[in-house]
Structures are given as C-alpha cells and as structure tokens.
Structure 1
Amino acid sequence: MCGITAAVGADDAVSTLLTGLQNLEYRGYDSAGVAVANGDGVEVVKREGQVDDLEALLSRRPLVGRVGLGHTRWSTHGAPTNANAHPHTDCYGDLAVVHNGIIENHATLRERLQSAGHTFTSETDTEVVPHLVEEYLDSGASVETAFRLAVDDLSGSYAVALVHEDEEAVYAAREGSPLVFGRGTEAYHLASDVPAFLEFTDDVVYLEDGDVIRVTPSSYEITDTEGSPVERPIESIDWNSEDVEKGAFDHYMRKEIDEQPTAIAQAVRGRTDGGAVALESLPDGAFADVDRVQFVACGTSYHAALYGAQLLRDRGVPARAFLASEYAMTAPPTEAGTVLVGVTQSGETADTLAALRRGASEGLRTLAVTNVVGSTAARECDAAVLIRAGPEIGVAATKTFSSQVATLTLLAERIRRDVRGDHSDSAPALLSALDRLPDDVESVLSETRAPSFARRYDDSDAYFFVGRGTAHPVALEGALKLKEISYEHAEGFPAGELKHGPLALVTPSTPVFAVCTGAHTEKLLGSIEEVSARGAPVVAVAPRSEKSVAEVADDVLWVPETHPELVGLLANVQLQLLSYHTATLLDRPVDKPRNLAKSVTVE
C-alpha cells in the first residue's frame, strides 16, 4: 500500500519525484524517501514523516541527477522510522530499491543473506531485495541479470524498482502489486498509480504480473521473466492534472464530495437508451444464462455491493454480497449460472483480486466494476464496467461510492432485463431519475444543514446509523465514513437489529441517524421509537414526503424527492458531509486518516 515513483531523463529528477510523491501520499504517509543515481554513485535521502518533511530535508541536502526513485510508505513490516523508510540499499550503497507489497519469504532470505555476511539496518521485508541483487552482482552477474535473479527469489506480492550507480537506468518488476509506466515527451516515469505523473504525461502502459521493465533516458523495454520482449499497449488517460489538485478546497475529500454531480453524470452518460440500459462493454443478452449474482468487495466498495445486491433481489434475481477477504478463504457454493462481480475502485485491491481469482478457478464468469480501465481486475475478469468517477485522492472514498451505486443500478436493471427477457414497466422512471440525480446531489450540497448537526453532536459518546433495504448499506457507509476520518465511535445496523443487542448501548449521548428511503417506513418508525424511548436523539435522513418520519424524529436532514431506489445515494451525500464537518471540528487530518491507505494492495 506504499507509493512508488521513478523519473528517468528529467532535468531535475528530485523535483519530479517530489511531485509524484505528493500526488501519491494518499497511498502511504508514514515515511518517505528518494534515491538518485548521478554518475558518482547513488545518493539516498529519507525520513520518517510526510512528504513535506522530506522536501524540507532535501532543501538542506539537495540531490542532483536525471534518474531516481521515490517512495512513500504505509508500514507493514517495521515501525515508521528513518531506518525503515525506503529506499533501501545494499552493503556498499551502490544500489537502491523501493518496493510495494509483501515479500512473504523475507525471513528465510534474510537469514540466508546474513549467514553470507550481509548486514541489515532495518526491520522491513524490502531490504532483502538490494542484498539479493548485491549477492548476484558479486558472483559476476550484470545489473539486469542480478535484478532478475533477485526477483525470481521473491515470494508474495510486489512492485519493485532499482537504480544502480553503474547505469543511467531504472529496473522495475511487478507481481501482484500495481505498477504503471508513463511515456512523457521530456522524461519517462514509473509509479504505483497514474496520478503520480499526470502533470507530465497522460500516455501510460499498465504493466502486468511477470513484466520486467528497463527504462533509460532514451528508451524503454518490457520483457517477461525469461527476458523475452513483450508488447503492452499505450493508453491515453482521460484525466488531467487539475483532477488531482485540491484547487480552492481545504481537503481533497471535500473537493471530491462536491465533484459527485459530475462523477454521477459520467457514470450514467450514454448508458440509458429509450428506457433501457446500454452498457458499452456488454453485448445484448450477456446475462441471459445467469441464475444468481455474487458480489465481492472490501470497505466502501462492499457497501456499494450490498446496495447492488439489494437492487437485484428487489428485481427477483438471487444476489448476495460477500466480503472479499472471507470469500477468498472459503468461497460459497459456486453453481452453474453464477456470475461473480468484483466491485473495486482501484481494480488493484488484493483481497478482491484473490476472491475473483478463486471464483474464476471454480469456473465462474467474472465481471469487474471498477474505476481504472487498465487495472488488474479489468484485465483479468471476463468483462469490465467502468464507473468513470475520475481520480479520487482522499483516503475516505466519496464520489467513487456514488458512481459505483449509480453504475450498479444500471447493471441491476440490465441483468433483470437479460434474465427475464422483457422490459420493466418501472425502468423508464428509474432511468429518468438517474438522469436527474446529478441535479439532486447538487441540491443536497447547496442546501445541507450537516455543518450545524456536526456542531450539535460533536461531544457525543458514539454515533449509530440505521436503515432498511437499500438504506442499510448507506447506514454502514455513513458509520464507516465517520469513524475513518473523525476517529469517533460509529456503528451501522439494519434498523430491525437494534433490539437484538445494540440497543443496550443507546443513551441520551448516542445520536441515531435513521435513513429513510420511502420503503419499509412503518418498520423504521418502530426502530426510531425504540431509541427515542431510551432518550437518544434521532436525526432522520429522508425525502420531504416522509412526513411520518419527521414527526417522530428530533430533526431531519432532507433530500430531494426521487425514485425510492436512489434516495439512499442522496442520503449518503448528507452523511458524507456530516462526517466531513465532524472531522474538521475535531481538527483531524481528513485526507490522511491514521493507519489507513487508499489502495489496499496487500492481503
């Protein structure tokens, strides 16, 4: 979950690397460092803390060179210290390595290398790599051969890059962790994610597992593990550098909340056709033989998957969402006629990829719902549907959840049509509401009272979120957002489950946010009355037509009238704003919450 960046051929490699690290800081911010090969050796500067701390150190200890590596770390092996920061070097300091992922056999390799006389200076799994390269160089191998042999020794997931004092080049390889090559006009780039180098180029090559790349200031070559050349397509990314800048906003999260009207419009554009759904990557009848749908996802994407599964069940199609980390370990029955849908913003989430691979190994058809066209999930699945949200930098997902739900709404309607073989009478109303959804979100953003509610409840002991049907995953997501960025205790429940245990925790200092979509209102009212009887303040999140909810709640966060299946999406925007304002009142680091990273690429 670390961020790798490399620059080759830049007039000022360090400046380019720092830009990349700042753009990748959402992937890790425990420590950061750079290494530059400048013809006189390899120089490394690294330190615990954030990229700004590294930049300050480099202003006092400037490095000069055209080829270099950068890294921002999210700790797995070893605490966030100067010694554990990347890049790591060999015993002589002749080479430097950065790494993302987990090297599972690092303990065995470390023991072997220490027995051979190598001295280690960190607790990280990564440090075995430069010492392995050193070992092979000492036996007479070239830099390229030594790098290949070292990579062959590794077990686990990794993206790894190396510079050596003898060559003006970067070597890199990937296996299970993302790595992207950027072809610029003035320099070449490597990174864990595209935003690292969007200021410099939008022409990218997504490297695949087993790829090894050598990049010099004048050329690049991609080969397989045996050294045979392989061709990878160059793709143009439909993002620009402004997409990864905060602009006038204080935080990326707030910027991305406000970008949701545009993100949803992009998700829906061109996909509603005369009351029917047209998904460009899926031919007519693609789901005609489907009997059931399984979703796998993690975190916020799991909540979107729960939403999508509910939409399908409401259409008479058996569907269930699974936590990917559990599915990969103990997959449920995989009968014929099952399609497995992986919901993943990055397309690189390790647990989700493992679940998709498990399903594929059982013979299931797989579909990725993702934001990144060339991601591993998009490449490995039988088909992919893009959510088109654009880059999201804040660790706490906002616009990608909305785009996922909008896309899954389209997908649910498309699957229903293919399975049932007819057109739903209700589809035109739903699709019309989807087309209006960006304007409805804009109304929420302009009229919200979330800031005053955040102030009113900022000294609460805990926060509960409840809902039924599609409101249940929204309640889970509302609780997740609040705990992620404010560090306050928050829990989401199906509304009917309060009386089966959680009600014991309800006190007058426990506000309950009740999400009402217009479906199951009578049942929700019962739950509200249960917590009100215990003295807990209740805030309903509902459309204005739900007068009965407003009468029993202490207050209401209103959302515009829309199709009942989309009310939850609007309610979620209100809860995002509530979480954001609660976190800012508490002066939390909204974009970089402690212990969390944006793209979880380790299992």
Structure 2
Amino acid sequence: MCGIVGGVAHQDVVPVLLQGLQRLEYRGYDSCGLAVHTASLNPTSDQGLHRTRSTARVAQLQTQIDAENLQAATGIAHTRWATHGAPSVDNAHPHFSFGPHPKEQKMPESAAHIALVHNGIIENYEVLRRELEAKNYIFTSDTDTEVVAHLIDSVYNGDLFDALKEATTRLHGAYALAVMHRDEPHRLVGARAGSPLVLGVVTGDAPAHYLASDAMALSGVTDQIIYLEEGDLVDLQAGKYWITDAQGRPLNTEQRPVQTVQAFAAAAELEPYQHYMQKEIFEQPRALADTLTDVLEISPELFGDAAHRHFNDIDSVLILACGTSYYSGLVAKYWLEAIAKIPTQVEIASEYRYRESVPTTKALVVVISQSGETADTLAALRHAKSLGHVHTLTVCNVATSTMVRECALAYITRAGVEIGVASTKAFTTQLAGLYLLTLALAQNKHTQSDESIAQHLHSLRHIPAAVQAVLALEPQIISWARSFIRMDNALFLGRGAHYPIALEGALKLKEISYIHAEAYPAGELKHGPLALVTSAMPVVVVAPNDALLEKLKSNMQEVRARGGVLYVLADAHTSIENSEGIHVIRMPEHYGALSPILHVIPLQLLAYHTALGKGTDVDKPRNLAKSVTVE
C-alpha cells in the first residue's frame, strides 16, 4: 500500500527520494510528500525541517520541489493510501511535530522538531491522541500517524534513536517508520512491526544509507539490501548504521546479512504497451515458462529441503489467502482433492484469524501472496502457527518476503515485478505453483502412478505455449468489450474448478472498469440470481468441454429464456454456436485439469479492453492499492 523512501548521505538525496516514489507508484496512492533537513547539506542553514506535499501524482510533487529548489543530504518521502482521514494535503505524509504549544499559536514549518513517515495502522491512536492533547500537542490531521510524531517528540531527550525505541513500546498495531529530528541533521532512524522495511547500503567514495518499504524503490541506487525483521529498529548515518531488536540488543551482520537483490527496474518500463496490465497479461507465457524452468521432475524438494519430512506428516491442506490469491486457492482445492486425494479447506485470511477454529495440526497450511507481505495473510499465518500448526508453505512471487521467511517451505513463482494493481501474471503463476504442489502431494501419498504424474507435468510444461495461443483471441475479445462498455452490471458463471475463474473474471471487471460484476456457480442461478437477468445484464459463461458441460448448457438456456445475452468462452466440440443472444469465442484447445489457467486469460483481456474503452485508470484503479500491507 503506502510507500516509504528515506536516505542519509553526504550528497543531495532528493533525486533518489523522488525516483524511489516513482518506483513505488504501482502500489497505489492518493497523496504524496517529501521532507528534508536543510542543514544536512548546508550547515549554515537555520531553516531546519522543510516539507512539500500533494494530493496529485509524484510528477506534480517533483514540480513543486523543483520550484522550491530543495536539496538536502537527509530526507524522507512517502506515498499514502488513505486509511484514517480522507486524501488531503493535511493528511498527507510526512507528518511534523512542533512540540506542545498553545492552540492559537501558528507555528512555522521550519520550527518543527520531528518529521515522520509511516506505513501501517496504529490501533491505539485514539488513546494516545487524548494523552498528547492533554499535554498541549496540537493535531492538524485526521490520521493515526500524527500521534506517532507527537509521541516521539514527547519522549525525546537528545537522542532520536532512544526516543523512537521508547515510543514504539507504546504502539499497538502495524508500522514501518522513518523519522528525522531538527537537532540531528545527519541522522535517520526507523522501525518495523507488521509492515515491511528494508535498508539499502551504498559503499565506496559516496557512502549512503537508505530506508524503503520495498527494495524496488532503491533499484538503480543500490542492490545491497538488508531485510529488517519484526521488531527491528535501525539507526542510520551516511557512513554507518546500527540495527537492534525490539529489546535494544545489537544485531550483527550474520543476524541481518546484506543481500544482493536484483530489483528488476527494467520491468517497470512499459516498452511498446499502453498499460502495465496489458504488458503483464502478455508476459504470462514467459512468466509461466520461468516459473517452470527448473522443474525437470516432481519431487517434494521443489518446495524446500525439509519438504519430504513435512509432507510425510500431513493428512490435509488448509489454504489461506485474500483476493485474487484466494481464488487461486479455490482452484487448487479441486486439484488437491481430485488428483492428490487430500482433504482441502480454503479460507479468506482476514476471516480465519478472527473466528474460533478447530486446528488440525497435521494439516499443511498454505499461504498464497504475490508480495509475501499481505497483512491479512501474514496475520492468518501467525495465528495458525500460534494454534500449533508447524507444517507451513507459501506460494509467493518474492523470495525475500516476510512470508517466505516465516514459512517452513516455499515455492517461489517467477512472475517478475507486477505493477498493475489488477493481478494477472501473478495469478496464473500461482496456479502453476499450486498444480506442482498437487502433483508433489499425489506422489508422496501414492494417489497417482508415476506415469500419471509424468503426464500431468508434461501438460503443465505445455501451458506457456497454450497461453500464447489464447492471447491470439484478443481481437474477438475487443469486440465483446465494445458491448460491455455500455453496461452497468455483468454476471459471470462457471462450474467446478471454473467457478473460481468466474469469480476472478468478475473481480477483474469491477476492479478496473467499475462495472458491477458478480460470479456464481451456474447451478445456483435458479436459487436467486436469475431474478437479475435481463437483456441489459450480459452473462459471461466459462464453458470447458468437461463432465459438467451438459448441466452448464441447461443453465445457459435458463438465461436465454429470460432474455439474457450470453458471452461464452467455449472449448472445441462443445456444440455451442453463435446465434441470436449467444456470442461465442472458441478456445484453441481443451486442457483438462489445467483448463482454468487458459480460461482466465480471455477474462483478463475482457476487463482490460472494457476499462480502456471506458477511459478509467487501468493500472491505478480508484480506491485500490497493489500491496495490501494493512488490515
């Protein structure tokens, strides 16, 4: 969600901070800002802290900064996705604390003591706010973040790191923090709990240190990254840094090693595409091929050295995920039960944590996330572990993420950086990883012969080429999109493993085109949703040539009898033809159990071209963020 970049160096860090914000724009935001310590580069300056904020894009913020000719060797910057308080300049980060003062006294910004940026949510901010207001701290925003700035100021006694350490003991919730103080121009401190934060190291003739919420923000600046762990605090100066745990114990380079991380800045270039979402849809053959590159045969070791031991000790699977990742888990349930013959439960991560559940400690807990930092899914994982679950596995796109570090096992998809908010290639590579998991468990539980598993793997390895053939259907899908542009509502239908694909198709359409879309198992039509069907309600049907086809055809007739207009993605030999009120796009081939991966591609393209026709912001849909790092 929100993005943090901060730095302390011997030279001007403002260009690095702005470039970092630009790298983080894909995460989604509704305001942005930057604060610097003017004395950090010009010791004769007495202006102290200075900030610039905007509710426009980072490009506008850069225009403001250029006009002010801001330069500094210490600074922090932020993109905000609103939680507490509407998008506004007053609610935008960085937040300042001026210390206690009379309410009627207007303080100049150069008099600020503290400048702070924050990702996460402070759950006890109301209690803290009342305490601080009683001490004559004046609040100028509706945010929970401003509380933290005032709290640090209230305990400051000449050492910013000590003040941060003391203040964090009072905070409940999630936070990644980067903080500056007027009296310490060459110092930047940070802390993390429940929200990611990394440290970037630059050595050589121009040493510098940076904080960021994502290594992507530091691409092109440094590839030397330290991933801070839960509860860590960090103290930065231009040529040195210190890291401690929450209790203040120093951590050495073995405990927090510097890692060389390729952030793939080139992936942020649009190349010939109009939008990142379009680019990422068409990258799926490559992403799937990369995800399967090293898979020469099925074995538990695909998921980690300890996988064989864990797989031997499990009798069921519990999948926890949110949004699109949840839908990939729903597809995997069909695979795991049909192929591996292992009981599987799929839960929305944000619900699982807050209900009374009966833990089955012999279950394999599978968490799915593109970023590996999804707050609800991380919280659900930790809750499962607190209940005694020790067999944990993540299917994730970021090898260095918190989720990977906290799970016993992992399968790293190789989708590459996904910038469009509406997930595409991350979803299909998750499905590939989950299919591999299905085959590994089938092998371990002896529910499929070696020949059968080999045939499944052969089919999976053909998927990149099959997806390429489906992408060639784009002209026909554009024709459908011209009709959808005029619609206010849409219905998606599927059966079996294609019902989750219908859910994903509806989600994509509503995410980026703002058309209200819902999905149902086709057999549920007569139990209520059929009341919605009119000629103004397009009905998209996912119609593979499988055992449920004849039942699905009956459901389609129910729609036609009520005047509904059908848009059908049909496999060959389904005997579904174009006619009045029925529009058919023929899929290149039927692909058995792997058919869901193919059928989601046209639905992604339909959402994209409908949104394009409606003129919405495809890559940054309103009210949404890419990485959901708050609950």
- Matches of 2:3 and 2:585, distance apart in 1: 38
CA contact (8 A) 2:303 2:410 kept: no
CA contact (8 A) 2:420 2:619 kept: yes
- Matches of 1:552 and 1:356, distance apart in 2: 50
Aligned to 2:178: 161
* Superposition pairs of residues 352-431 of structure 1, within 5 angstroms: 352-364=377-389, 365-420=391-446, 423-431=449-457
> Match of 1:9, as an amino acid?
A
> Match of 1:366, as an amino acid?
T
Aligned to 1:307: 331
CA contact (8 A) 2:544 2:590 kept: no
Cα-to-partner distance string for 1:270-319 (whole Å, 9 max, x where unaligned): 1241x667515154354123211110100000000101111111122111
- Matches of 2:202 and 2:540, distance apart in 1: 49
Aligned mate of 1:179, from 183, 191, 197: 197
Cα-to-partner distance string for 1:450-488 (whole Å, 9 max, x where unaligned): 111101232123111111111111000000000000000
- Matches of 1:477 and 1:553, distance apart in 2: 24
> Match of 1:279, as an amino acid?
L
Cα shift at 1:502: 0.6
Aligned to 1:204: 225
What SS does structure 2 have at the residue aligned with 1:167? Answer: strand
Cα-to-partner distance string for 1:47-82 (whole Å, 9 max, x where unaligned): 222212212222222210122111000011111111
Aligned to 1:434: 460
- Matches of 2:155 and 2:8, distance apart in 1: 24
What SS does structure 2 have at the residue aligned with 1:578? Answer: helix
CA contact (8 A) 1:13 1:67 kept: yes
- Matches of 1:71 and 1:462, distance apart in 2: 36
- Matches of 2:88 and 2:316, distance apart in 1: 49
Aligned to 1:258: 282
What SS does structure 2 have at the residue aligned with 1:352? Answer: helix
CA contact (8 A) 2:8 2:210 kept: yes
Aligned to 1:17: 17
> Match of 1:462, as an amino acid?
N
> Match of 1:172, as an amino acid?
G
Aligned to 1:292: 316
* Superposition pairs of residues 5-404 of structure 1, within 5 angstroms: 5-9=5-9, 11-39=11-39, 40=45, 41-91=48-98, 92-137=111-156, 140-165=157-182, 166-185=184-203, 186=206, 187-230=208-251, 231-273=255-297, 279-282=302-305, 283-284=307-308, 286-315=310-339, 316-364=341-389, 365-404=391-430
Cα shift at 1:327: 0.6
Cα shift at 1:238: 4.1
CA contact (8 A) 2:545 2:572 kept: no
> Match of 1:457, as an amino acid?
F
Aligned to 2:42: none
Aligned to 1:471: 498
What SS does structure 1 have at the residue aligned with 2:302? Answer: coil
CA contact (8 A) 1:507 1:536 kept: yes
> Match of 2:218, as an amino acid?
F
Cα shift at 1:562: 4.7
CA contact (8 A) 1:276 1:428 kept: no
Cα-to-partner distance string for 1:525-556 (whole Å, 9 max, x where unaligned): 11111111112121211332433476898222
- Matches of 1:121 and 1:162, distance apart in 2: 18
- Matches of 1:136 and 1:495, distance apart in 2: 61
- The alpha-carbon distance between structure 1 residues 125 and 492, as it changes in their structure 2 partners (threshold 3 A), is same
What SS does structure 1 have at the residue aligned with 2:191? Answer: strand
> Match of 2:16, as an amino acid?
T
TM-score computed with the length of structure 2 as normaliser: 0.91
- Matches of 1:539 and 1:181, distance apart in 2: 50
- The alpha-carbon distance between structure 1 residues 238 and 232, as it changes in their structure 2 partners (threshold 3 A), is same
Aligned to 1:515: 542
Aligned to 1:593: 621
- The alpha-carbon distance between structure 1 residues 591 and 38, as it changes in their structure 2 partners (threshold 3 A), is same
- Matches of 1:359 and 1:302, distance apart in 2: 17
- The alpha-carbon distance between structure 1 residues 422 and 538, as it changes in their structure 2 partners (threshold 3 A), is closer
CA contact (8 A) 2:300 2:308 kept: no
- Matches of 1:247 and 1:219, distance apart in 2: 38
Cα-to-partner distance string for 1:370-411 (whole Å, 9 max, x where unaligned): 111121211112222111211111111111001100110111
Cα shift at 1:135: 1.4
> Match of 1:48, as an amino acid?
T
Aligned to 1:541: 569
> Match of 2:598, as an amino acid?
L
TM-score computed with the length of structure 1 as normaliser: 0.96
Task: Say what the alpha-carbon RMSD is for the aligned residues.
Answer: 1.9
Cα-to-partner distance string for 1:158-183 (whole Å, 9 max, x where unaligned): 00111123231210100001111222
- Matches of 2:158 and 2:9, distance apart in 1: 25
CA contact (8 A) 1:514 1:538 kept: yes
What SS does structure 1 have at the residue aligned with 2:441? Answer: helix
- The alpha-carbon distance between structure 1 residues 517 and 150, as it changes in their structure 2 partners (threshold 3 A), is same
- Matches of 1:10 and 1:482, distance apart in 2: 48
What SS does structure 1 have at the residue aligned with 2:127? Answer: helix
- The alpha-carbon distance between structure 1 residues 10 and 352, as it changes in their structure 2 partners (threshold 3 A), is farther
Cα shift at 1:202: 2.5
> Match of 1:511, as an amino acid?
P
- Matches of 1:447 and 1:508, distance apart in 2: 25
CA contact (8 A) 2:545 2:590 kept: no
- The alpha-carbon distance between structure 1 residues 204 and 545, as it changes in their structure 2 partners (threshold 3 A), is farther
Aligned to 2:104: none
Cα shift at 1:108: 1.2
- Matches of 1:465 and 1:184, distance apart in 2: 51
What SS does structure 2 have at the residue aligned with 1:127? Answer: helix
Aligned mate of 2:485, from 458, 469, 481: 458
> Match of 1:351, as an amino acid?
D
- Matches of 2:237 and 2:213, distance apart in 1: 19
Cα-to-partner distance string for 1:109-152 (whole Å, 9 max, x where unaligned): 11111111111111111011221222122xx3412211211222
Percent identity over the alignment? Answer: 44
More displaced, 334-343 or 303-312? 334-343
Cα shift at 1:424: 4.8
More displaced, 419-428 or 261-270? 419-428
- Matches of 2:575 and 2:299, distance apart in 1: 33
- The alpha-carbon distance between structure 1 residues 234 and 517, as it changes in their structure 2 partners (threshold 3 A), is farther
CA contact (8 A) 1:545 1:561 kept: no
- Matches of 1:276 and 1:71, distance apart in 2: 44
- Matches of 1:255 and 1:100, distance apart in 2: 29
- Matches of 2:587 and 2:354, distance apart in 1: 40
Aligned residues, how many? 600
More displaced, 554-563 or 402-411? 554-563
